[in-house]
Amino acid sequence: MGTEAAAERTGLSAKALANGVSVLQALVESDEPLSASEIARRVGLHQSSVSRILSTLAAAGYARKTGYRSFAPDFGVLSLGAAAITKFNLAHKPRKAMEEAARHARDMAVSLSVLWRGEVIYFLRTRGDDQPVLFNADGWPLHLSAPGLRLLLDLPEDEALELLRESRDKYGWERPEPPAPQSEQEALRRGRELLVHDCLILDGWLKPGHMSSAITVDAPGEPPVALALTGRTELADPDTIRLWLHSFRRSVEQALSD
């Protein structure tokens, strides 16, 4: 009985932790403060459970009241995230290689991206002589993201389609220009058609004269990684973009392996 009771307590603790993470994630992903009842609706928990979790998060500095019944993330989330970034190789090991790539790429933005649970997370995004932005996870529709779509092309089709559906549910399916795909199936089909020498180039999908491109990066121990170049179409022709992507990829892979 003692062993069974211990196992039950462990299971309950794990469930409580998962519920707490779900509530905190709902706060972080929302564009505005949320009430306990709205969070409960979003994460599928009872309102009383959410209220207890919010009290615990507030006491720990991860949530704060913004009104009589509304909550938002507190500075503890920022502190935790800032401390965590330094633990990721993608945020510091290839920094010099990325800075050199940006100086070489004629005012195009250079970034590393990972596809994590259907979200594109950017590391070391920089342009020209600008200081790199270490980390950005604002969220972006996968069908309009060159690195996101490039990484989807390496997944089994059913998995890639499911991630595109989840992206549609979260961000909608904006089609700002006619070249952009109308459906999940078309996104994968067009992506495969445009994949040349391991490079995906999306020209004019977001707006006329705008180009985004990506190539996969071999990064052992990391989620799927892509190197992206984004900027005005006039800055370089497709063959030059592919040449740059392959050259920059070699430098980044070498930096990650050192």
Residues 72 and 104 in one domain: no
| 123/249 Cα distance (integer angstroms) | 14
Q: Are residues 60 and 173 in the same domain?
A: no
Q: What band does 81 get if pLDDT is binned at 50, 70 and 90?
A: confident
Q: Is the pLDDT of residue 18 over 60?
A: yes
The pTM score is 0.83
CATH number, domain with residue 45? 1.10.10.10
Q: 77 is written with which tokens?
A: 């989330």
Is pLDDT of 141 > 80?
yes
3-state secondary structure 32-61: CCEEHHHHHHHHCCCHHHHHHHHHHHHHHC
Residues 215 and 112 reside in one and the same domain: yes
Q: What is the mean pLDDT of residues 129-138?
A: 86
Residue 218 Cα distances to 25, 111, 112, 128, 153, angstroms = 30, 15, 12, 24, 15
**At 249, which CATH number?**
3.30.450.40
SS3 of 132, please?
Answer: coil
What is the overall mean pLDDT for the chain?
92
Q: 57-72, pLDDT tens digit by residue?
A: 999 999 999 988 899 9
Within this chain, do residues 36 and 95 fall inside the same structural domain, yes or no? no
Asked if 36 and 128 sit in the same domain, the reply is no
Last residue of a domain, one of 77, 111, 141: 77
Q: pLDDT tens digits for 207-233?
A: 999 999 999 999 988 989 999 999 999
- Domain boundary (52, 77, 102) is at 77
Residues 61 and 93 in one domain: no
| Residue numbers of the domain that contains 42 | 2-77
The answer on pLDDT for 14 being more than 90 is no
Asked if residue 120 and residue 238 are part of one domain, the reply reads: yes
Instruction: Report the b/e string of 109-123 with b at 16+ CB within 10 A.
Output: bbbbbbbeebbbbbb
Same structural domain for residues 173 and 250?
yes
Is 72 exposed, middle or buried, given 0-12, 13-18 or 19+ CB atoms closer than 10 A?
middle
Residue 78: pLDDT band (50, 70, 90) is confident
Instruction: Find the mean pLDDT for residues 164-173.
Output: 94
**Mean pLDDT in residue range 174-183:** 92
Q: Are residues 104 and 57 in the same domain?
A: no
In 153-232, where does DSSP find H-type helix?
Answer: 157-171, 184-194
pLDDT at residue 117, rounded to an integer = 87
Q: What amino acid occupies position 159?
A: E
Q: Are residue 175 and residue 55 in the same domain, yes or no? A: no
Q: What is the DSSP letter of 87?
A: T
Per-residue confidence at 87, pLDDT binned at 50, 70, 90?
Answer: confident
Q: Does residue 82 have a pLDDT over 90?
A: no
Same-domain check for residues 99 and 117: yes
Total domains, the chain: 2
Q: Are 171 and 140 a contacting pair, CB within 8 Å?
A: yes
What does the pLDDT look like over 180-198, one tens digit per residue?
999 999 999 999 999 999 9
pLDDT of residue 4: 59
Residue 62 sits in the same domain as residue 22: yes
Give the CA dihedral 54, 55, 59, 62, nearest 10 degrees.
10
Of 51, 77, 103, which marks where a domain is finished? Answer: 77
